[in-house]
Amino acid sequence: MRHNGGMTESDPFRVIFVCTGNICRSPMAEVVFRDIAAKQGLGDRIVSTSAGTGDWHVGEQADSRTIDALARRGYDGTKHRARQFTYESFTGSDLVVALDRTHERILKQWARDESEEGKVTLLLSFEHNPTVLDVPDPYYADARVFDEVLGMIESASHGLFRQLEPAIRPSRP
């Protein structure tokens, strides 16, 4: 039913969130979006993953401040292991969500065709009235900024889910 060749209505919708090193922002978005889908009864219809544009942290856990910020809001980020975005990430994803415009620009440059480029979008574009488009990188900041960034990601992730839900929710007979 969906636009990807050979994909059927029963296939899960695959979203990948992308930031720089895959240890702060994108793991937050991955965990939050997965939680939203599960709480709405669509956990089996959506696959939420994340990756980084760089390879510095491949195989590492999320930053401890990310894990702590997630835990303070009731999420578990301890299972995350960083990975790098690859060309195969385009093929294995229906939507590629960049956390800031730098990531968006890089991802669109990496796209091999218009179809892949069309999968790339900015997370904060799903805010009701976005006043900023970039989720700030909290890496060089303190726990308070990690909490603020998580709040931005939660809000935009709810907007993203509302946008996708009608297409993902199974049709009733």
pTM for the model stands at 0.92
Specify the pLDDT at position 173: 58
Catalytic residue among 55, 68, 134, 137: 137
Instruction: Tell me, yes or no, if 105 is annotated catalytic.
Output: no
Mean pLDDT by 10 residues, the chain (173 residues): 47 96 98 97 95 95 97 97 96 97 97 97 91 94 96 97 89 63
Per the CATH hierarchy, to which homologous superfamily does domain 13-166 belong?
A: Response regulator (3.40.50.2300)
The span from the CA of 173 to the CA of 147, in Å, is: 43
Q: Residue 25, CB half-sphere, CA atoms under 13 Å: how many?
A: 30
Instruction: Tell me, yes or no, if 137 is annotated catalytic.
Output: yes
Instruction: Tell me, yes or no, if 25 is annotated catalytic.
Output: yes
Pairing of strands 95-98, 13-19: parallel
| Domain locations in the chain as residue ranges | 13-166
Catalytic residue among 25, 34, 45, 83: 25
